[in-house]
Amino acid sequence: MSGNAGSQIDLYQFNSNGNPVNRFELPLNGQGYLAACNDGSNLYFQSRYTDYIFKMTPLGEIFWQKSDNFPDNNSDTTTTYMYWRGRGLAWADTNLVALYRHKNDSTQYRGRYIHINNDTLQTVLDTTVTWDHLDSYGAYAMEYQPESDGFWILATDSLNQYILFEVDSLFQYLRTIDEIDEEPRGITRRNDLELYLSYPDRIIKQLQY
């Protein structure tokens, strides 16, 4: 992000050593933080400040943008802010999975399995959970856990510690995996169980857990 005019969000391509090798401008100003995942061919992005999900090529070309709209997300007519705000995106087998946080409660979250059918978003499962071990910032990034069919979640806990914890396929808390000394901003996996964390200043590190 920057204070300059024009595109302010970039898509970086990294090599196997974690070094940036290419950069593509994305015309996505005003979306806030963007969560990202891929289905093996295409990229998907979730906006934090809107209910849009974007589908792109690996070169940053936008196929489409769709609204993941559900009725109670816009029930407050006194504000343009959503009740449920984007906090993570993952590709789980054949479905896109979106994580949302309640705007007034950092312990309440909503997990939505979304099937993409002819470029339309169809809700397969919608569940709400409470994670009462989190602080006022809460969960902010997610990755699919293929071995258990659940998810890894990055968050800050009630002690203001950055943590990685695991939930099942219905987003029920299972265990805290690790406390993280630094301040990671994103999580992704390579192969099945190699986890990588992204940090400010375009740094990527493998997590040993």
The string of pLDDT tens digits covering residues 10-28 is: 888 878 777 788 888 887 7
- Tokens standing for residue 49: 């400040």
Q: Is residue 126 domain-resident?
A: yes
Based on the structure, what is the number of domains in the chain? Answer: 1
Asked whether 121 and 150 are in contact (CB, 8 A), the reply is no
pLDDT over 90 at 161, yes or no: yes
Q: Is residue 74 domain-resident?
A: yes
Q: Is residue 60 domain-resident?
A: no
- Tokens standing for residue 25: 């401008």
Q: Is residue 25 domain-resident?
A: no
Closest by CA to 178, choosing from 204, 153, 201, is 153
Domain range spanning residue 123? Answer: 67-207
Map residue 56 onto helix, strand or coil: strand
Where are the strands (E) in the chain, listed by range? Answer: 9-14, 20-26, 34-38, 43-47, 52-56, 62-67, 84-92, 95-102, 105-117, 120-130, 134-145, 150-157, 162-167, 173-180, 186-190, 194-199, 203-207
The string of pLDDT tens digits covering residues 65-110 is: 888 877 777 666 665 567 888 999 999 999 999 999 998 899 999 9
Question: Which CATH number characterizes residue 120's domain?
Answer: 2.120.10.30
